Amino acid sequence: MSGSEQSPESDGPAVGPDVDDGLPAAEAFALLGNETRIDILQALWRAPDHPVAFSALRKRVGMRDSAQFNYHLSKLTDHFVRSTDDGYEFQYAGEKVVRAILAGTFTDRVSLEFPVAGECFECGAALEGRYSDERLGVRCSACDTTYGRYAFPPGGLRDRSDAEVAAAFDQRVRHLHCLAADGVCPECGGRVATEITPDDDDRLDLDVRVDHTCQQCQHTISSPVGLSLLDDATVVAFHAEHGVDLTSTEHWTLDWCVTDQTTAYDPDRDRVSVGITLGGETLTVTLDGDLRVVDTERRCEGADGESAATV
């Protein structure tokens, strides 16, 4: 397997700031356990302008009893919506709830398989996308080798062709890793620590992998080292010189990106290098333990088979 996301262990450390005036999580979720309150949030979402006056919001929900409507709205106020002089508008938490509903995160259950571009680097068979348990992965249709499996909300499947789903998944994976590599958790916004480590537990069936772990929610994204180079300027330019638009090339079709066949790890120096070969020329990128590029080298294969460094 070439990449995955992990949830925190149930006995993981309790982290996060102390918030004296916050609402306990159980109480916050209990406030949403009512159909009318969900209707209020969805009606507020669909309103063309914000804030929305009390009477206009009640009309959108379709509730005649003003007292009952006020009761349910008051339960959401200060936690999921805020009251202003001109009416009601979202708190960030309220927007997250509605977006989760639209994404189908809590409601949809979908399983499907569809063909995607590329061939397996192990056996050469065709690849396919497989969606289950709110995660989408790319795998070999013959030997079952997996080239990444990441969370993908069910709503991302709606109104998209197979090719559009694959393209959306490619961009989502790039986005998740870009955020994590920049030290921002894509789940909670917390601080992320990055580590290059031998894959001793065979988590991804690699020799070496990258772990991005949030220090707040413990969410972890693991991947081959090469995946972190998708937006590196030198790597992008190298591909462009060889007629390849790296931004529109599905990441699972790049061997250096989803395998570690061209990756070399030096634990003593905490250095890892990734080799990328195109048109008889190899770009070797060396990174430190924090995934910072510390050196690049280009070498051409001569007609006599000798390798020569290029500037």
Peptide bond into 198 cis (omega under 30): no
Identify the H or E element spanning 234. helix 233-241
Number of C-beta neighbours around residue 276 at 10 A: 22
- How does pLDDT run across 267-293, given as a tens digit for each residue? 999 999 999 999 999 999 999 998 999
Cα Dmax for the chain = 87
Among residues 173, 189, 266, the alpha carbon closest in space to that of 222 is found at 173
pTM of the model: 0.74
Residue 15 banded pLDDT, cuts 50, 70, 90: very low
Among residues 117, 98, 110, 161, the alpha carbon closest in space to that of 136 is found at 110
Residue 302 banded pLDDT, cuts 50, 70, 90: low
pLDDT recorded at residue 10? 40
- How does pLDDT run across 80-97, given as a tens digit for each residue? 999 999 999 999 899 988
Residue 262 identity (one-letter amino acid): T
Please give the class, per CATH, of domain 25-103: mainly alpha
Among residues 196, 239, 195, 237, the alpha carbon closest in space to that of 213 is found at 195
CA atoms within 13 Å, Cβ hemisphere of 192: 26
* 3-class state of residue 252 by DSSP: helix
Q: Delimit the domains of the chain by residue range.
A: 25-103, 229-310
Among residues 206, 212, 208, the alpha carbon closest in space to that of 176 is found at 212
Residue 311 banded pLDDT, cuts 50, 70, 90: very low
Residues 5, 133, 172, 212: what is their CA dihedral angle, to the nearest 10 degrees? -10
Where do we find the tokens 């070999």?
A: 140
Quick one: tokens of 91?
Answer: 């708190």
Q: Are the C-beta atoms of residues 98 and 38 closer than 8 Å to each other?
A: no
**What order do you get walking across the sheet with 293-301 strand by strand?**
263-266, 271-278, 281-288, 293-301, 307-310
pLDDT recorded at residue 99? 83
- Look at 195 and 12; give whichever has higher pLDDT: 195
Quick one: tokens of 68?
Answer: 């009952």
Residue 252 confidence (pLDDT) above 90: yes
